[in-house]
Amino acid sequence: MNLKAKLQNLKMHPLIRVLAENGGNPRTLALIEPLWGIPYNLISPFATLYMYTQGVTDVQIGLILSVTMVVQVLFSFFGGILSDKLGRKFTTMMGDFFGWSLACLVWAVSNNFWLFLAAALLNCFEQINQTAWYCLLIEDAHPKDLVGIYTCVNIGGLVAIFFAPISGLFVSAYSIVPVVRTLYFLFALTMLAKTLITFRFCHETKQGQIRRAETRGVSIFHMLGEYRQLIPGLLKNKGVLKAVAVSVILYVTNMVSTNFFGLYVTQRLGLSENFLALFPILNAAVMLVFMVGVQHRVSAAKFRIPLWIGLALYGIAALTLIFCPVGELWCVLIYVFLAALGAALVNPRKDALLQLNIAPQERARLNALIMASTIALSSPFGYLAGWLSSLDRRLPFVFNLALFLAAMLIIARIQEPQMEEQDA
């Protein structure tokens, strides 16, 4: 009896079975996700306030977002080419080192707009990582397991959020700047460890080996020129265009929420900074309960209805926050609860939906092209969100609400993707 048959006879949670049947890269990348997730979630609630406390204004925060997004477009284009020429594994390691480990060292010493901008520009190397990491994660996996694999990766990040109260306690005791500086330094060390583990335990994918052989001796500039042949085919694929449109919308709404939620609840609603570490924990707890207890009961072959419901929950959450009375913690908790349910439904499916709609033979460059397009289309909205926040801190979330409604209209018109096995 082979391993797969033995696993089917065991009473095993479906998500554990997914990792067992898709060993190697998916299992390793899911298990080491907390090395990124723990320090990221310790810092994330305080990152914007860390800048704001040191004199960076709302508009400058928005400007940093928009400038770095433009640079990310360039890095995304090269991410696909480097993933083919250098391999998925090496490119992932390079993005982790320069985009996170080195960038976090600069963030740790930043005390003005220009240093924060420099750190954010270094973090753009992470876009090179994104294309290669997605390929490394799923190229040797079974297509039917993609939602499960993305769910496992999300869980790996969510577990890390429960460490967030530690930063809240230290901020209360020592103030925000010295605590966040220390956390950024620790973040640099954990990402260095993640890079070394990827080197030791991950392997190059079959498709990565094929593309590395095919592109040996081909110049980077020639490969850049080949994007001209990929773009027309991409524009004719309605399934990909709809998936990209939803990805752009969710990229923008996540950017707005991540960068302006903390300012909104502290500066407008008057809640204590200490609560900023509580909200990610509630969000993670709700998502974990849903992903572990409910997600596998929602058919992995169905995308339209779960995505539509998730976006509707996002919209209701935005309305709740917009009309939240000053000083009312319960209202913000409802927002976090509804947004967490929406994210649990939407996040794994929007990633899997995109991968199922693109040709596996050109996955790296198509992912890079899609990522670059997503960032390019999203780039003006960082500055716009900062400007809206400077007028009224509710306006960025009104903007998010409009985007969620637009995404719901797009999802209503998508076709369910085919889940047959393909040669990845």
User: Cβ neighbours of residue 51 under 8 Å, at least 6 residues apart?
Assistant: 60, 61, 64, 110, 116
What tens digit of pLDDT does each residue of 1-44 get? 455 555 455 466 666 666 666 667 888 888 888 888 888 878 88
192 versus 225: the higher-pLDDT residue is: 192
- Degrees to nearest 5, angle at CA 135 with 132 and 138: 145
Output the average pLDDT for the chain: 81
Residue 146 vs residues 156, 200, 328, 353: alpha-carbon distances, Å: 15, 24, 40, 9
Instruction: Quote the pLDDT of residue 424.
Output: 40
Instruction: Quote the pLDDT of residue 12.
Output: 61
Model confidence at 120: pLDDT above 80? yes
What tens digit of pLDDT does each residue of 202-231 get? 888 888 888 888 888 888 777 777 777 777
What tens digit of pLDDT does each residue of 356-382 get? 777 666 667 777 777 777 777 777 787
* Separation CA 42–CA 173 (nearest Å): 15
CB-based contact 256:385 (threshold 8 Å): yes
* Separation CA 292–CA 52 (nearest Å): 37
User: Cβ neighbours of residue 82 under 8 Å, at least 6 residues apart?
Assistant: 91, 94, 128, 132
Instruction: Quote the pLDDT of residue 97.
Output: 93
The torsion angles phi and psi of 412, rounded to 5 degrees, stand at -65, -15
What tens digit of pLDDT does each residue of 376-423 get? 777 778 778 888 888 888 899 999 999 999 999 988 877 766 655 444
Nearest to 87 by CA among 30, 133, 56: 133
What tens digit of pLDDT does each residue of 171-188 get? 878 888 999 999 999 999
Nearest to 77 by CA among 292, 267, 224: 224
- Domain segments of the chain as ranges: 23-411
Task: Report yes or no on whether pTM surpasses 0.75.
Answer: no
What tens digit of pLDDT does each residue of 46-64 get? 888 899 888 888 888 888 8
CB-based contact 274:332 (threshold 8 Å): no
227 versus 70: the higher-pLDDT residue is: 70
Written out in words, the top-level CATH class of the domain with range 23-411 is mainly alpha
